[in-house]
């Protein structure tokens, strides 16, 4: 964050393990006490999202729906809102985002198997999730929901809202690469090299917005003689094994988080969804013929355009 006179402004930054990653929250105001209270409110907002939308927690809304099978049940307004956002991305991307791919993640060892979940119908997908008035959800087929591809971004948005509601002048929330800023702050974004996670590449600078990044730096593995990852292509229900990094910039982290999966699965097919949802993406692909072994491109009205990158920097030991 920018420098500030100590007599008139106070800033704090805190980090805690939440959402399966490290969540960092920073804020600035005129009072240390006010900043500390605002950061606590922001962490409480993140914890609330985790409790409602975790695939692992037996009391979460997600687990309740997965146990229910076909039928209708009320959920928390936050869960309903995330499912509504997920449906908007699914519709804009013609199904390239799908929160019903949990069975494939279980199959490849990225999610645990729950014996008390209703058996998912093989044909079930996002179209079988209906959102009804009164924050009710109807599942037209038994399916297994996993909101891990969007809920982290939503938690970041909730934390930012908590900071703003507390009157903070500026704030920053970063949940494992899902980032959002507000106020007179700006940040240069670095991402890891897709083939060398200890090397950082400067990507862009953002302020008053959100950015999320998806890649398989540490999560890919070999299963049955092939490489798998937790990024599932809903069109094929197979893991995306490409060595690439995808970053999406949007007005909120909920959209940025979800759209990274759409772009990762199909960069060309994602262009229309990015335009519909007023978002932009940067893709880094391995290319031995390119400078530094990386081909970078950015989305725009005319399609994907080459993006020059500075030389990578090594992470400090």
Domain limits of the chain? 56-139, 186-307
pLDDT score for 197: 65
- What pLDDT score was predicted for residue 126? 97
Q: Which pLDDT value is given to residue 220? A: 58
Tokens 């920053």 belong to residue: 172
State the Cα–Cα distance between residues 173 and 160, nearest whole angstrom.
7
Task: Residue 58: count other Cβ atoms within 10 Å of its Cβ.
Answer: 10
The verdict on pTM exceeding 0.85 is yes
Please give the Cα distance from 72 to 268 (Å, whole number): 37
pLDDT on residue 1: 42
Residue 3: per-residue pLDDT? 42
CB atoms inside a 10 Å sphere around CB 314: 9
Which pLDDT value is given to residue 5? Answer: 44
Closest CA to 106 of 230, 260, 236, 240: 230
Q: What angle do CA 203, 208, 211 make, to 5 degrees?
A: 40
Tell me which CATH homologous superfamily contains domain 186-307: ApbE-like domains (3.10.520.10)
Taking the chain (317 residues) in runs of 10, the rounded mean pLDDT of each run is 52 94 95 96 98 96 97 98 98 95 90 94 96 98 96 98 97 95 88 74 86 76 63 81 87 97 94 96 87 85 87 49
- For residue 202, what are the β-bridge partners? 190
Q: Which fold has domain 56-139?
A: T-fold (1.10.3980)
């Amino acid at each position: 964050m920018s420098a500030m006179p100590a007599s008139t402004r106070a800033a704090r930054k805190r980090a805690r393990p939440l959402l399966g990653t490290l969540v960092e929250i920073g804020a600035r105001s005129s009072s240390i006490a006010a900043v500390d209270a605002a950061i606590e409110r922001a962490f409480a907002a993140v914890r609330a999202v985790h409790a409602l939308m975790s695939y692992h927690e037996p009391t979460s809304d997600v687990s309740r729906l997965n146990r229910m099978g076909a039928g209708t049940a009320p959920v928390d307004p936050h869960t309903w809102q995330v499912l509504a956002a997920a449906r908007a991305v699914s519709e804009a991307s013609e199904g390239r985002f799908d929160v019903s791919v949990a069975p494939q993640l279980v199959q490849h060892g990225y999610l645990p198997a729950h014996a008390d979940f209703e058996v998912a119908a093989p044909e079930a997908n996002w179209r079988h999730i209906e959102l009804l008035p009164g924050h009710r959800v109807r599942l037209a087929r038994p399916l297994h929901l996993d909101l891990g591809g969007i809920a982290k971004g939503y938690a970041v948005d909730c934390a930012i809202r908590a900071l703003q509601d507390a009157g903070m002048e500026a704030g920053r929330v970063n949940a494992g690469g899902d980032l959002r800023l507000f106020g007179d702050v700006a940040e240069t974004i670095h991402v890891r090299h897709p083939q060398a996670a200890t090397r950082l590449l400067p990507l862009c600078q953002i302020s008053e917005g959100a950015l999320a990044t998806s890649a398989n730096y540490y999560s890919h593995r070999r299963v049955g003689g092939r490489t798998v990852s937790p990024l599932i292509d809903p069109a094929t229900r197979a893991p995306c094994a490409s060595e690439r990094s995808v970053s999406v910039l949007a007005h909120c982290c909920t959209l940025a988080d979800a759209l990274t999966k759409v772009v990762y699965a199909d960069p060309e097919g994602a262009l229309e969804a990015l335009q519909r949802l007023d978002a932009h993406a940067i893709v880094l692909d391995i290319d031995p013929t390119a400078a530094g072994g990386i081909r970078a491109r950015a989305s725009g009205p005319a399609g994907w355009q080459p993006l020059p990158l500075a030389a990578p920097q090594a992470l400090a030991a």
